Chains A and B, each alone.
Chain A
């Protein structure tokens, strides 16, 4: 793949700023997020990590008064020009608290494909099985796909949400603190799952847990607010480089816990 093709594939932003009304929350962020890799966004609360993550599937559009400058691109196309339903098919999202629909395990996973026109029951069954297998949940639920998604444990619910996200064959999965509400064992399962999923998806994760960022990600981006409280991208590099030899002293201070 040449450089242009590499840039055309995957996610990138150029001089991207985001405003909540008159308040600038993100300041001119430019980044190229590698495909089929896990990129972690770290930084203190309020530095704009989640706002930035939500820019990739235009979740911020739902908030009144939000305006943006610059570009957010997926596969070289500006997300602002895309149909939002198609965009969210391409860019799945998993949230901090597992949020299965109050429906059966089967219906939770089949919901997206149905929305995008898959009607045949056996086709849906294939997608549901494949997605649950990819989300490493199949073995635990295969005997009762019709029980409520809400009856699963927290860790299972989160994997159900991941299965639901990948059922529509996205290219990207955004994860906003996906394990912060889970116990250590469920957390490790999610982390192992992420590692398997990156073969097929590009994953961006926001996490407050620095050890988690160090464990799961290939690349790490460190964000921090400036004197006007606007979030800036301070440093972006391989996770190994960021956690062994960060080049910016602000990154060093944050990850070594000597911040503030």
Chain B
């Protein structure tokens, strides 16, 4: 095996992607937990920490550009770097969804929730697990796992539809519920989008490993 420096740089950029995915996964989980607990300090922390995630993603981009400029990668190396750039963008957007949930949580403020949350934490659990599994599949070059992970998105979509229908009944029941209903619906929508973003990541994994562009959405 030759190209030790190049291999070291590729490992470094993959490690960084893995780390920032961990940060995003944590923020997503906490954003829903703080929503449930009505923890305003926690929600503020999520909003602020998103800035650090954005900086980490920029660092990954910068590293990729520098590797492309100095090492002239081709074939699987080029596909890998191209995918890292795209996956890091998806991760950054998932971070934005977590921040969005925290912001909505702050907007709801001290009001008590119109219902105990069941499906929203469930959606977060599913989407977060998809994200963790997808990044593991990426690190392990596992296209088969990626395809299988992407299929879980259908379950998240179904849960979103269910949450949406349920929230409509709350509006019909009591008009004053309308404000919080819209906000909770928006939160569920954010989580539904996380599933779509992870599906995009799964497409990039398949491209990295096989060179084929597939549409899993």
**A contact residues vs B (CB 8 Å cutoff):** 210-211, 214, 243-246, 251-252, 255-260
Q: How far is the CB of B10 from chain A (nearest CB, A)?
A: 11
A258 adjacent to B73 (CB under 8 Å): no
For A257, give its contact among B2, B78, B211 (CB under 8 Å): B2
For B75, give its contact among A211, A245, A260 (CB under 8 Å): A245
* Known A244-B79, A256-B77: A211·B72 in contact at CB below 8 Å: yes
Query: Which 3 A-B residue pairings sit nearest by Cβ, starting from the closest?
Result: A245-B211, A243-B74, A257-B3
CA distance A258 to B77 in the complex (A): 11
CA distance A257 to B76 in the complex (A): 12
Q: How far is the CB of A257 from chain B (nearest CB, A)?
A: 5
CB-defined interface of B8-23 with A at 8 Å, one 1/0 digit per residue?
0000000000000000
CA distance A211 to B72 in the complex (A): 8
B74 adjacent to A258 (CB under 8 Å): no
A252 adjacent to B72 (CB under 8 Å): no
Q: A210-B72, A256-B77, A257-B2 are known; give 18 further A-B pairs, CB within 8 A.
A: A211-B72, A214-B74, A243-B74, A243-B78, A244-B74, A244-B211, A245-B75, A246-B75, A255-B74, A256-B3, A256-B74, A256-B75, A257-B6, A258-B1, A258-B2, A258-B3, A259-B2, A260-B2
Q: How many residues of B contact A (CB 8 A)?
A: 13
Q: How far is the CB of B207 from chain A (nearest CB, A)?
A: 10
Q: List, sorted by A's number, 7 A–B pairs whose CB atoms are closer than 8 Å.
A: A210-B72, A244-B78, A245-B211, A256-B75, A256-B76, A257-B6, A260-B2
**Which of chain A's residues have a CB closer than 8 A to the CB of B2?**
257-260
A252 adjacent to B1 (CB under 8 Å): no
Q: How far is the CB of B76 from chain A (nearest CB, A)?
A: 6
**Which of chain B's residues have a CB closer than 8 A to the CB of A259?**
2
CA distance A251 to B76 in the complex (A): 11
B73 adjacent to A256 (CB under 8 Å): yes
CA distance A84 to B138 in the complex (A): 57
CA distance A59 to B77 in the complex (A): 38
CA distance A258 to B74 in the complex (A): 11
CA distance A213 to B210 in the complex (A): 23
**Which of chain B's residues have a CB closer than 8 A to the CB of A246?**
75
CA distance A214 to B73 in the complex (A): 12
**Which of chain A's residues have a CB closer than 8 A to the CB of B78?**
243-244
Q: How far is the CB of A212 from chain B (nearest CB, A)?
A: 11
Interface residues of B in 52-80 (CB under 8 A from A): 72-79
CA distance A259 to B2 in the complex (A): 7
Nearest B residue to A247 via CB reads B211
Q: How far is the CB of B102 from chain A (nearest CB, A)?
A: 40
**Which of chain B's residues have a CB closer than 8 A to the CB of A214?**
74
**Which of chain B's residues have a CB closer than 8 A to the CB of A255?**
74-75
Nearest B residue to A259 via CB reads B2
Nearest A residue to B82 via CB reads A244
Q: How far is the CB of A248 from chain B (nearest CB, A)?
A: 11
**Which of chain B's residues have a CB closer than 8 A to the CB of A256?**
3, 73-77
B3 adjacent to A252 (CB under 8 Å): no
CA distance A251 to B78 in the complex (A): 14
**Which of chain A's residues have a CB closer than 8 A to the CB of B75?**
243-246, 251-252, 255-256
**Which of chain B's residues have a CB closer than 8 A to the CB of A251?**
75
Nearest B residue to A245 via CB reads B211
Q: How far is the CB of A43 from chain B (nearest CB, A)?
A: 15
**Which of chain A's residues have a CB closer than 8 A to the CB of B1?**
258
CA distance A256 to B74 in the complex (A): 6
Q: How far is the CB of B118 from chain A (nearest CB, A)?
A: 46
**Which of chain A's residues have a CB closer than 8 A to the CB of B72?**
210-211
